[in-house]
Amino acid sequence: MSGTDTDADGDNPAETELEDYDDYRTTDVLVVGSGIAGLAAALGAAREGADVTVATKATRPEGASSWWAQGGIAVSRDDPAQFKTDILTASADTADPDAVDVLVEEANDAVQDVLVDTLGVEFDTSGTEGDAPDADDEWDFGREAAHDEPRILHVDASTGKAIHIPFLNYLDDREDVTILDDTAVLELVSHEGRVHGALLEQEGEVTPTFAGATVLATGGIGDLYPRSTNPDGSTGDGIAMAALAGADVEDMEYVQFHPTAFVGEDGDTDEPFLVSEAVRGEGARLVNGEGERFMPDYHEDAELGPRDVVARAVQTEREATGEVRLDVSPLDFAGEFPDLAEKCEERGVDWEAGIPVGPAEHFLCGGVDVDTRGRASLDRLYAVGECSRTGVHGANRLASTSLLEGLVWGLRAGEDAADFEPAVVEAPELLDRDPALPENFAREKFHRLRRVMDEYVGLRRDPDELGRAQAVLRRLKGEVDAYVRTRTARSLYELRHASVTALLVTRAAAENDESVGTHNLVEEPATPGAD
Protein backbone atom coordinates (compact mmCIF):
# COMPACT_ATOMS: atom_id res chain seq x y z
CA MET A 1 0.00 0.00 0.00
CA SER A 2 1.23 3.51 -0.72
CA GLY A 3 -0.14 6.70 0.69
CA THR A 4 0.62 10.00 2.35
CA ASP A 5 0.72 11.03 5.95
CA THR A 6 0.30 14.52 7.32
CA ASP A 7 0.93 16.30 10.56
CA ALA A 8 -1.96 17.85 12.48
CA ASP A 9 -1.75 21.05 10.44
CA GLY A 10 -1.88 19.15 7.15
CA ASP A 11 1.81 19.53 6.28
CA ASN A 12 4.63 17.05 6.24
CA PRO A 13 7.81 18.96 5.30
CA ALA A 14 9.84 15.75 5.18
CA GLU A 15 7.65 14.13 2.54
CA THR A 16 9.27 13.53 -0.82
CA GLU A 17 8.15 12.26 -4.20
CA LEU A 18 7.99 8.55 -4.97
CA GLU A 19 10.11 9.00 -8.08
CA ASP A 20 13.03 10.19 -5.94
CA TYR A 21 13.78 6.50 -5.29
CA ASP A 22 14.69 3.90 -7.88
CA ASP A 23 13.44 1.16 -5.59
CA TYR A 24 11.37 1.30 -2.41
CA ARG A 25 8.63 -0.47 -0.50
CA THR A 26 5.64 0.82 1.39
CA THR A 27 3.66 -1.07 3.99
CA ASP A 28 1.14 -0.18 6.66
CA VAL A 29 3.16 -1.93 9.39
CA LEU A 30 6.81 -2.99 9.25
CA VAL A 31 7.74 -5.65 11.80
CA VAL A 32 11.45 -6.24 12.32
CA GLY A 33 12.03 -9.75 13.67
CA SER A 34 10.28 -13.11 13.43
CA GLY A 35 10.18 -14.51 16.95
CA ILE A 36 6.90 -14.91 18.78
CA ALA A 37 6.74 -11.18 19.58
CA GLY A 38 7.19 -10.12 15.96
CA LEU A 39 4.79 -12.74 14.65
CA ALA A 40 2.19 -11.76 17.25
CA ALA A 41 2.57 -8.11 16.23
CA ALA A 42 2.09 -9.08 12.58
CA LEU A 43 -1.02 -11.08 13.47
CA GLY A 44 -2.44 -8.28 15.61
CA ALA A 45 -1.95 -5.71 12.83
CA ALA A 46 -3.29 -8.00 10.10
CA ARG A 47 -6.42 -8.72 12.13
CA GLU A 48 -7.04 -4.95 12.17
CA GLY A 49 -6.89 -4.79 8.37
CA ALA A 50 -3.30 -3.62 7.89
CA ASP A 51 -0.89 -4.79 5.22
CA VAL A 52 2.14 -6.11 7.10
CA THR A 53 5.76 -6.71 6.11
CA VAL A 54 7.92 -8.84 8.40
CA ALA A 55 11.67 -8.38 7.86
CA THR A 56 13.95 -10.84 9.62
CA LYS A 57 17.65 -11.67 9.55
CA ALA A 58 16.72 -15.24 10.35
CA THR A 59 16.75 -17.97 7.78
CA ARG A 60 13.65 -19.71 8.92
CA PRO A 61 13.04 -21.03 11.41
CA GLU A 62 16.14 -21.66 13.53
CA GLY A 63 17.47 -18.09 13.43
CA ALA A 64 14.83 -16.67 15.79
CA SER A 65 15.27 -16.86 19.57
CA SER A 66 11.73 -18.15 20.12
CA TRP A 67 12.53 -21.28 18.12
CA TRP A 68 15.11 -22.23 20.77
CA ALA A 69 12.85 -21.72 23.80
CA GLN A 70 12.66 -24.97 25.75
CA GLY A 71 10.77 -24.65 29.00
CA GLY A 72 7.39 -23.38 27.88
CA ILE A 73 4.95 -20.53 28.30
CA ALA A 74 3.52 -19.56 31.66
CA VAL A 75 -0.18 -18.82 32.14
CA SER A 76 -2.20 -17.51 35.04
CA ARG A 77 -4.50 -20.54 35.28
CA ASP A 78 -7.10 -19.53 37.88
CA ASP A 79 -4.79 -17.45 40.09
CA PRO A 80 -3.41 -14.32 38.38
CA ALA A 81 -2.73 -12.73 41.77
CA GLN A 82 -0.24 -15.46 42.72
CA PHE A 83 1.34 -15.31 39.26
CA LYS A 84 1.84 -11.57 39.76
CA THR A 85 3.37 -12.17 43.17
CA ASP A 86 5.83 -14.67 41.72
CA ILE A 87 6.89 -12.25 38.96
CA LEU A 88 7.42 -9.41 41.42
CA THR A 89 9.31 -11.62 43.87
CA ALA A 90 11.63 -12.97 41.17
CA SER A 91 12.35 -9.40 40.09
CA ALA A 92 13.37 -8.45 43.65
CA ASP A 93 10.27 -6.24 43.66
CA THR A 94 11.64 -4.07 40.84
CA ALA A 95 9.09 -5.00 38.15
CA ASP A 96 6.36 -2.50 37.23
CA PRO A 97 3.14 -3.73 38.92
CA ASP A 98 0.92 -2.14 36.26
CA ALA A 99 2.80 -3.90 33.45
CA VAL A 100 2.64 -7.19 35.35
CA ASP A 101 -1.13 -6.74 35.69
CA VAL A 102 -1.44 -6.54 31.90
CA LEU A 103 0.61 -9.72 31.50
CA VAL A 104 -1.18 -11.89 34.04
CA GLU A 105 -4.68 -10.66 33.19
CA GLU A 106 -4.30 -11.33 29.46
CA ALA A 107 -2.16 -14.48 29.68
CA ASN A 108 -4.88 -17.12 29.53
CA ASP A 109 -6.91 -15.47 26.77
CA ALA A 110 -3.88 -14.72 24.58
CA VAL A 111 -2.58 -18.28 24.78
CA GLN A 112 -6.02 -19.77 24.15
CA ASP A 113 -6.84 -17.41 21.27
CA VAL A 114 -3.56 -17.51 19.35
CA LEU A 115 -1.68 -20.65 20.29
CA VAL A 116 -4.53 -23.09 20.85
CA ASP A 117 -7.49 -21.87 18.76
CA THR A 118 -5.64 -20.19 15.87
CA LEU A 119 -2.44 -22.23 15.57
CA GLY A 120 -3.57 -25.52 17.07
CA VAL A 121 -0.46 -26.00 19.21
CA GLU A 122 -0.77 -29.32 21.02
CA PHE A 123 0.66 -28.73 24.45
CA ASP A 124 1.54 -31.77 26.52
CA THR A 125 -1.31 -33.24 28.52
CA SER A 126 -1.37 -35.34 31.67
CA GLY A 127 -2.12 -38.68 30.06
CA THR A 128 -5.12 -37.49 28.03
CA GLU A 129 -5.32 -38.94 24.54
CA GLY A 130 -7.21 -37.66 21.55
CA ASP A 131 -8.28 -34.07 21.04
CA ALA A 132 -6.71 -31.15 22.85
CA PRO A 133 -8.22 -30.91 26.33
CA ASP A 134 -10.89 -28.42 27.22
CA ALA A 135 -10.61 -28.73 30.98
CA ASP A 136 -7.85 -26.79 32.70
CA ASP A 137 -6.69 -29.72 34.82
CA GLU A 138 -5.95 -31.91 31.77
CA TRP A 139 -2.97 -29.85 30.68
CA ASP A 140 0.39 -31.11 31.93
CA PHE A 141 1.48 -27.92 33.71
CA GLY A 142 5.15 -27.85 34.62
CA ARG A 143 6.81 -25.97 37.44
CA GLU A 144 10.00 -23.97 37.10
CA ALA A 145 12.24 -21.90 39.34
CA ALA A 146 10.57 -19.23 41.50
CA HIS A 147 7.04 -20.29 40.47
CA ASP A 148 4.77 -20.97 43.43
CA GLU A 149 2.80 -23.60 41.50
CA PRO A 150 2.89 -25.56 38.23
CA ARG A 151 1.67 -23.21 35.48
CA ILE A 152 3.96 -23.83 32.50
CA LEU A 153 2.42 -25.12 29.28
CA HIS A 154 5.02 -27.01 27.25
CA VAL A 155 5.70 -29.37 24.38
CA ASP A 156 8.42 -31.68 25.70
CA ALA A 157 11.49 -29.41 25.99
CA SER A 158 10.95 -27.85 22.54
CA THR A 159 8.06 -25.48 23.14
CA GLY A 160 9.51 -22.66 21.09
CA LYS A 161 9.81 -24.83 18.00
CA ALA A 162 6.27 -26.19 18.48
CA ILE A 163 4.90 -22.64 18.52
CA HIS A 164 7.17 -20.94 16.03
CA ILE A 165 6.79 -23.23 13.02
CA PRO A 166 2.96 -23.22 12.91
CA PHE A 167 2.97 -19.45 13.56
CA LEU A 168 5.20 -18.82 10.55
CA ASN A 169 3.15 -21.17 8.39
CA TYR A 170 -0.09 -19.49 9.42
CA LEU A 171 1.17 -16.00 8.55
CA ASP A 172 2.72 -17.26 5.30
CA ASP A 173 -0.75 -18.29 4.19
CA ARG A 174 -2.23 -14.82 4.77
CA GLU A 175 -2.30 -12.49 1.78
CA ASP A 176 -1.94 -9.42 4.00
CA VAL A 177 1.42 -10.54 5.48
CA THR A 178 4.71 -10.62 3.57
CA ILE A 179 7.72 -12.26 5.24
CA LEU A 180 11.20 -11.28 4.02
CA ASP A 181 13.78 -13.63 5.51
CA ASP A 182 17.56 -13.26 5.39
CA THR A 183 16.86 -9.52 5.45
CA ALA A 184 18.71 -7.16 7.78
CA VAL A 185 17.44 -3.79 8.93
CA LEU A 186 20.39 -1.41 8.97
CA GLU A 187 18.89 1.86 10.13
CA LEU A 188 15.56 3.48 10.97
CA VAL A 189 14.11 6.22 8.80
CA SER A 190 13.05 9.05 11.11
CA HIS A 191 12.26 12.73 10.95
CA GLU A 192 11.56 15.14 13.80
CA GLY A 193 10.70 12.47 16.34
CA ARG A 194 8.64 10.25 14.05
CA VAL A 195 9.76 6.94 12.57
CA HIS A 196 8.76 6.31 8.96
CA GLY A 197 10.22 2.86 8.37
CA ALA A 198 13.72 1.50 7.87
CA LEU A 199 16.48 0.66 5.42
CA LEU A 200 16.42 -3.06 4.57
CA GLU A 201 19.40 -5.01 3.22
CA GLN A 202 18.89 -8.23 1.29
CA GLU A 203 21.65 -9.93 -0.71
CA GLY A 204 23.74 -6.76 -0.60
CA GLU A 205 21.00 -4.45 -1.89
CA VAL A 206 19.62 -1.73 0.42
CA THR A 207 15.98 -0.72 -0.06
CA PRO A 208 14.04 1.95 1.87
CA THR A 209 10.82 0.55 3.30
CA PHE A 210 8.36 3.22 4.39
CA ALA A 211 5.76 2.25 6.96
CA GLY A 212 2.87 3.80 8.80
CA ALA A 213 4.32 2.23 11.96
CA THR A 214 7.45 0.23 12.71
CA VAL A 215 7.57 -2.57 15.30
CA LEU A 216 10.99 -3.70 16.55
CA ALA A 217 11.10 -7.34 17.64
CA THR A 218 14.76 -8.11 17.11
CA GLY A 219 15.40 -10.33 20.13
CA GLY A 220 18.38 -10.45 22.43
CA ILE A 221 22.05 -9.59 22.76
CA GLY A 222 23.72 -13.00 22.95
CA ASP A 223 26.43 -12.11 20.43
CA LEU A 224 27.83 -9.61 22.95
CA TYR A 225 29.03 -12.49 25.14
CA PRO A 226 31.25 -15.49 24.37
CA ARG A 227 28.69 -17.94 25.84
CA SER A 228 25.00 -17.50 25.17
CA THR A 229 21.85 -19.54 24.67
CA ASN A 230 20.74 -17.13 21.91
CA PRO A 231 21.03 -17.98 18.21
CA ASP A 232 23.80 -16.38 16.15
CA GLY A 233 22.98 -12.88 15.00
CA SER A 234 21.61 -11.65 18.35
CA THR A 235 23.46 -8.34 18.12
CA GLY A 236 21.00 -5.95 19.77
CA ASP A 237 19.98 -4.44 16.43
CA GLY A 238 16.61 -3.04 17.45
CA ILE A 239 17.88 -1.50 20.68
CA ALA A 240 20.84 0.15 18.96
CA MET A 241 18.80 1.48 16.02
CA ALA A 242 16.16 2.89 18.36
CA ALA A 243 18.77 4.50 20.63
CA LEU A 244 20.61 6.03 17.66
CA ALA A 245 17.31 7.47 16.44
CA GLY A 246 16.71 9.03 19.86
CA ALA A 247 14.36 6.58 21.56
CA ASP A 248 14.57 6.02 25.32
CA VAL A 249 16.11 2.80 26.64
CA GLU A 250 15.91 1.57 30.23
CA ASP A 251 17.17 -1.21 32.54
CA MET A 252 20.01 -2.15 30.22
CA GLU A 253 22.20 -3.33 33.11
CA TYR A 254 19.88 -6.26 33.84
CA VAL A 255 21.38 -9.09 31.78
CA GLN A 256 20.16 -12.51 32.88
CA PHE A 257 22.43 -15.55 32.78
CA HIS A 258 20.88 -18.99 32.64
CA PRO A 259 22.49 -21.24 35.28
CA THR A 260 22.34 -24.54 33.41
CA ALA A 261 23.81 -24.35 29.94
CA PHE A 262 25.68 -27.47 28.86
CA VAL A 263 29.47 -27.17 29.02
CA GLY A 264 31.95 -29.69 27.71
CA GLU A 265 33.98 -31.99 29.91
CA ASP A 266 36.86 -29.51 29.69
CA GLY A 267 34.64 -26.60 30.69
CA ASP A 268 34.35 -25.33 27.12
CA THR A 269 31.08 -23.42 26.63
CA ASP A 270 31.63 -22.03 23.14
CA GLU A 271 28.68 -24.08 21.85
CA PRO A 272 26.34 -24.32 24.83
CA PHE A 273 22.84 -25.68 24.70
CA LEU A 274 20.23 -24.88 27.28
CA VAL A 275 19.22 -27.53 29.80
CA SER A 276 15.70 -26.38 30.58
CA GLU A 277 14.73 -25.12 34.01
CA ALA A 278 11.88 -27.59 33.78
CA VAL A 279 14.40 -30.38 34.42
CA ARG A 280 15.12 -28.92 37.86
CA GLY A 281 11.40 -28.40 38.28
CA GLU A 282 10.96 -32.16 37.95
CA GLY A 283 13.59 -32.90 40.61
CA ALA A 284 17.08 -32.69 39.07
CA ARG A 285 19.77 -31.51 41.50
CA LEU A 286 22.96 -29.51 41.11
CA VAL A 287 26.13 -31.08 42.50
CA ASN A 288 29.66 -29.69 42.54
CA GLY A 289 32.98 -31.28 41.66
CA GLU A 290 33.08 -33.01 45.03
CA GLY A 291 29.72 -34.64 44.43
CA GLU A 292 27.93 -32.41 46.96
CA ARG A 293 24.53 -30.86 46.44
CA PHE A 294 25.02 -27.16 47.20
CA MET A 295 21.94 -25.09 46.32
CA PRO A 296 20.24 -25.49 49.77
CA ASP A 297 23.18 -23.47 51.14
CA TYR A 298 22.44 -20.59 48.79
CA HIS A 299 18.65 -20.30 48.79
CA GLU A 300 15.71 -21.74 50.67
CA ASP A 301 14.17 -22.93 47.40
CA ALA A 302 17.44 -24.66 46.45
CA GLU A 303 17.51 -25.50 42.71
CA LEU A 304 14.23 -23.63 42.25
CA GLY A 305 15.59 -20.33 43.51
CA PRO A 306 15.61 -17.23 41.26
CA ARG A 307 17.80 -17.52 38.18
CA ASP A 308 20.27 -14.85 39.26
CA VAL A 309 20.88 -16.61 42.58
CA VAL A 310 21.30 -20.05 41.01
CA ALA A 311 23.57 -18.76 38.24
CA ARG A 312 25.96 -17.08 40.68
CA ALA A 313 25.96 -20.18 42.91
CA VAL A 314 26.82 -22.42 39.97
CA GLN A 315 29.66 -20.12 38.95
CA THR A 316 31.00 -19.99 42.52
CA GLU A 317 30.98 -23.78 42.84
CA ARG A 318 32.62 -24.24 39.44
CA GLU A 319 35.44 -21.95 40.50
CA ALA A 320 35.81 -23.63 43.90
CA THR A 321 35.50 -27.30 42.90
CA GLY A 322 36.22 -27.40 39.18
CA GLU A 323 32.80 -28.35 37.83
CA VAL A 324 29.06 -28.49 38.41
CA ARG A 325 26.81 -31.24 37.10
CA LEU A 326 23.06 -31.54 36.87
CA ASP A 327 22.12 -34.84 38.45
CA VAL A 328 19.03 -36.10 36.60
CA SER A 329 18.88 -39.49 38.35
CA PRO A 330 15.83 -38.51 40.50
CA LEU A 331 13.64 -38.39 37.37
CA ASP A 332 12.95 -40.36 34.20
CA PHE A 333 15.06 -37.99 32.11
CA ALA A 334 14.80 -39.79 28.77
CA GLY A 335 11.08 -40.36 29.22
CA GLU A 336 10.17 -36.86 30.36
CA PHE A 337 12.66 -34.91 28.23
CA PRO A 338 13.40 -37.01 25.14
CA ASP A 339 14.58 -34.03 23.08
CA LEU A 340 17.18 -33.08 25.67
CA ALA A 341 18.27 -36.69 26.10
CA GLU A 342 18.78 -36.94 22.34
CA LYS A 343 20.77 -33.69 22.33
CA CYS A 344 23.01 -35.04 25.09
CA GLU A 345 23.61 -38.22 23.10
CA GLU A 346 24.49 -36.17 20.01
CA ARG A 347 27.17 -34.38 22.05
CA GLY A 348 28.44 -37.62 23.57
CA VAL A 349 27.21 -36.68 27.05
CA ASP A 350 26.51 -39.50 29.47
CA TRP A 351 23.57 -37.83 31.18
CA GLU A 352 23.27 -40.72 33.63
CA ALA A 353 26.57 -39.49 35.11
CA GLY A 354 25.23 -35.94 35.32
CA ILE A 355 25.22 -33.17 32.72
CA PRO A 356 28.11 -30.69 33.05
CA VAL A 357 26.60 -27.20 33.24
CA GLY A 358 27.59 -23.58 33.71
CA PRO A 359 26.06 -20.10 33.32
CA ALA A 360 25.56 -18.52 29.89
CA GLU A 361 24.03 -15.21 28.83
CA HIS A 362 20.34 -15.80 28.29
CA PHE A 363 18.03 -12.77 28.35
CA LEU A 364 18.12 -8.98 28.51
CA CYS A 365 15.49 -7.67 30.92
CA GLY A 366 15.81 -4.08 29.67
CA GLY A 367 15.63 -2.53 26.23
CA VAL A 368 13.62 0.08 24.34
CA ASP A 369 11.33 1.70 26.89
CA VAL A 370 7.68 1.12 25.95
CA ASP A 371 4.21 1.51 27.43
CA THR A 372 1.49 -1.12 27.77
CA ARG A 373 0.80 -0.91 24.02
CA GLY A 374 4.44 -1.32 23.06
CA ARG A 375 4.80 2.35 22.08
CA ALA A 376 8.31 3.80 22.31
CA SER A 377 9.18 7.44 22.98
CA LEU A 378 9.41 8.14 19.23
CA ASP A 379 6.14 8.52 17.34
CA ARG A 380 5.06 5.49 15.28
CA LEU A 381 7.83 3.32 16.78
CA TYR A 382 7.00 0.19 18.79
CA ALA A 383 9.15 -2.45 20.44
CA VAL A 384 8.12 -5.89 21.68
CA GLY A 385 9.79 -9.01 22.99
CA GLU A 386 13.32 -9.12 24.35
CA CYS A 387 14.44 -5.88 22.69
CA SER A 388 11.79 -3.98 24.67
CA ARG A 389 11.58 -2.88 28.27
CA THR A 390 7.95 -3.28 29.27
CA GLY A 391 8.69 -3.26 33.00
CA VAL A 392 7.44 -6.82 33.46
CA HIS A 393 10.84 -8.27 34.36
CA GLY A 394 12.53 -5.56 36.39
CA ALA A 395 15.97 -6.71 37.51
CA ASN A 396 15.38 -10.43 36.93
CA ARG A 397 12.97 -12.40 34.72
CA LEU A 398 10.77 -15.18 36.04
CA ALA A 399 11.19 -18.40 34.06
CA SER A 400 8.88 -19.00 31.06
CA THR A 401 7.51 -15.47 30.93
CA SER A 402 9.44 -14.39 27.82
CA LEU A 403 7.22 -16.15 25.28
CA LEU A 404 4.15 -14.88 27.13
CA GLU A 405 5.38 -11.28 27.21
CA GLY A 406 6.18 -11.43 23.50
CA LEU A 407 2.73 -12.80 22.72
CA VAL A 408 0.76 -10.34 24.85
CA TRP A 409 2.72 -7.20 23.91
CA GLY A 410 3.04 -8.30 20.30
CA LEU A 411 -0.72 -8.51 19.90
CA ARG A 412 -1.24 -5.19 21.66
CA ALA A 413 1.42 -3.38 19.63
CA GLY A 414 0.23 -4.81 16.32
CA GLU A 415 -3.36 -3.76 16.96
CA ASP A 416 -2.25 -0.23 17.89
CA ALA A 417 0.20 0.10 15.00
CA ALA A 418 -2.43 -0.69 12.37
CA ASP A 419 -3.95 2.81 12.54
CA PHE A 420 -1.38 4.68 10.42
CA GLU A 421 -0.63 5.07 6.72
CA PRO A 422 2.92 5.24 5.33
CA ALA A 423 4.58 8.40 4.04
CA VAL A 424 7.58 8.45 1.73
CA VAL A 425 10.22 10.74 3.25
CA GLU A 426 13.90 11.46 2.82
CA ALA A 427 15.88 8.40 3.87
CA PRO A 428 19.46 8.30 5.15
CA GLU A 429 22.06 7.88 2.42
CA LEU A 430 24.35 4.92 3.05
CA LEU A 431 27.70 5.18 1.28
CA ASP A 432 29.73 2.29 -0.05
CA ARG A 433 32.63 3.98 -1.78
CA ASP A 434 35.67 2.53 -0.03
CA PRO A 435 37.22 -0.93 -0.50
CA ALA A 436 35.58 -3.83 1.27
CA LEU A 437 36.78 -4.61 4.76
CA PRO A 438 39.15 -7.50 5.41
CA GLU A 439 37.26 -10.77 5.84
CA ASN A 440 38.19 -11.11 9.52
CA PHE A 441 37.59 -7.46 10.47
CA ALA A 442 34.20 -7.94 12.14
CA ARG A 443 35.28 -11.22 13.74
CA GLU A 444 38.30 -9.61 15.42
CA LYS A 445 36.30 -6.64 16.69
CA PHE A 446 33.58 -8.94 18.03
CA HIS A 447 36.21 -10.96 19.84
CA ARG A 448 37.46 -7.80 21.54
CA LEU A 449 33.94 -6.71 22.45
CA ARG A 450 33.07 -10.10 23.93
CA ARG A 451 36.21 -10.19 26.05
CA VAL A 452 35.28 -6.85 27.60
CA MET A 453 31.69 -7.89 28.28
CA ASP A 454 32.70 -11.28 29.67
CA GLU A 455 35.40 -9.95 31.99
CA TYR A 456 33.72 -6.78 33.23
CA VAL A 457 29.95 -6.88 32.54
CA GLY A 458 29.03 -10.47 33.30
CA LEU A 459 27.66 -12.24 36.38
CA ARG A 460 29.77 -10.15 38.76
CA ARG A 461 30.74 -6.54 38.18
CA ASP A 462 33.33 -4.35 39.83
CA PRO A 463 32.28 -0.65 39.87
CA ASP A 464 35.80 0.58 39.08
CA GLU A 465 36.31 -1.83 36.21
CA LEU A 466 33.02 -0.80 34.58
CA GLY A 467 34.62 2.57 33.85
CA ARG A 468 37.52 0.86 32.13
CA ALA A 469 35.11 -1.24 30.08
CA GLN A 470 33.30 1.89 28.91
CA ALA A 471 36.55 3.42 27.71
CA VAL A 472 37.46 0.32 25.70
CA LEU A 473 33.98 0.09 24.18
CA ARG A 474 33.92 3.79 23.27
CA ARG A 475 37.15 3.37 21.36
CA LEU A 476 35.76 0.33 19.62
CA LYS A 477 32.55 2.11 18.65
CA GLY A 478 34.59 5.04 17.30
CA GLU A 479 36.57 2.70 15.07
CA VAL A 480 33.41 1.06 13.77
CA ASP A 481 31.65 4.38 13.16
CA ALA A 482 34.56 5.54 11.02
CA TYR A 483 34.11 2.55 8.72
CA VAL A 484 30.29 2.82 8.62
CA ARG A 485 30.55 6.34 7.15
CA THR A 486 31.94 5.01 3.88
CA ARG A 487 30.99 1.34 3.75
CA THR A 488 27.70 -0.54 3.81
CA ALA A 489 27.73 -4.19 4.83
CA ARG A 490 25.50 -6.27 7.06
CA SER A 491 28.37 -7.53 9.21
CA LEU A 492 29.59 -3.97 9.76
CA TYR A 493 26.17 -2.74 10.84
CA GLU A 494 25.74 -5.72 13.14
CA LEU A 495 29.07 -4.82 14.73
CA ARG A 496 27.93 -1.22 15.05
CA HIS A 497 24.69 -2.27 16.72
CA ALA A 498 26.55 -4.61 19.05
CA SER A 499 29.02 -1.92 20.09
CA VAL A 500 26.23 0.59 20.75
CA THR A 501 24.25 -1.95 22.78
CA ALA A 502 27.34 -3.04 24.73
CA LEU A 503 27.99 0.58 25.65
CA LEU A 504 24.39 1.03 26.77
CA VAL A 505 24.61 -2.07 29.00
CA THR A 506 27.95 -1.03 30.50
CA ARG A 507 26.95 2.60 31.04
CA ALA A 508 23.74 1.58 32.80
CA ALA A 509 25.68 -0.86 34.98
CA ALA A 510 28.19 1.85 35.93
CA GLU A 511 25.40 4.28 36.84
CA ASN A 512 23.55 1.81 39.09
CA ASP A 513 25.28 1.52 42.46
CA GLU A 514 22.75 -0.95 43.90
CA SER A 515 23.24 -4.70 43.62
CA VAL A 516 19.85 -6.11 42.71
CA GLY A 517 18.72 -9.10 40.68
CA THR A 518 21.00 -9.75 37.74
CA HIS A 519 23.10 -6.64 38.48
CA ASN A 520 25.61 -7.94 41.02
CA LEU A 521 28.34 -5.58 42.21
CA VAL A 522 31.51 -6.88 43.85
CA GLU A 523 34.65 -5.14 45.05
CA GLU A 524 37.09 -7.64 43.56
CA PRO A 525 39.08 -6.20 40.64
CA ALA A 526 38.84 -8.05 37.36
CA THR A 527 41.97 -9.25 35.58
CA PRO A 528 43.26 -6.63 33.12
CA GLY A 529 43.70 -7.48 29.47
CA ALA A 530 40.45 -6.54 27.71
CA ASP A 531 42.21 -4.15 25.38
Q: How far is CA 2 from CA 18, 26, 29, in A?
A: 9, 6, 12
- Measured in residues, the chain has a length of 531
AA letter at 34: S
Q: Which helix (H) or strand (E) holds 244?
A: helix 237-245
Q: How large is the greatest C-alpha to C-alpha distance in the chain, in angstroms? A: 73
Q: Of the listed 307, 380, 412, 496, which one is catalytic?
A: 307
Q: Kindly provide the residue ranges of all beta strands, DSSP E only, lying in 175-281, ordered along the sequence.
A: 177-180, 184-191, 194-202, 205-216, 249-250, 255-262
- Burial grade of 525 (CB within 10 A; 0-12, 13-18, 19 or more): exposed
Please enumerate in sequence order all residues whose Cβ is within 8 A of that of 134, keeping only pairs 6 or more positions apart, or say none: none
**CA 355 and chain centroid, separation:** 25
Radius of gyration in angstroms for the set of CA atoms belonging to the chain, rounded to a whole number: 23
- The stretches of 64-158 forming alpha helices (DSSP H) are 65-68, 80-90, 97-110
Known active-site residue 468? no
Q: Kindly provide the residue ranges of all beta strands, DSSP E only, lying in 203-333, ordered along the sequence.
A: 205-216, 249-250, 255-262, 285-288, 324-327
What positions carry a catalytic annotation? 307
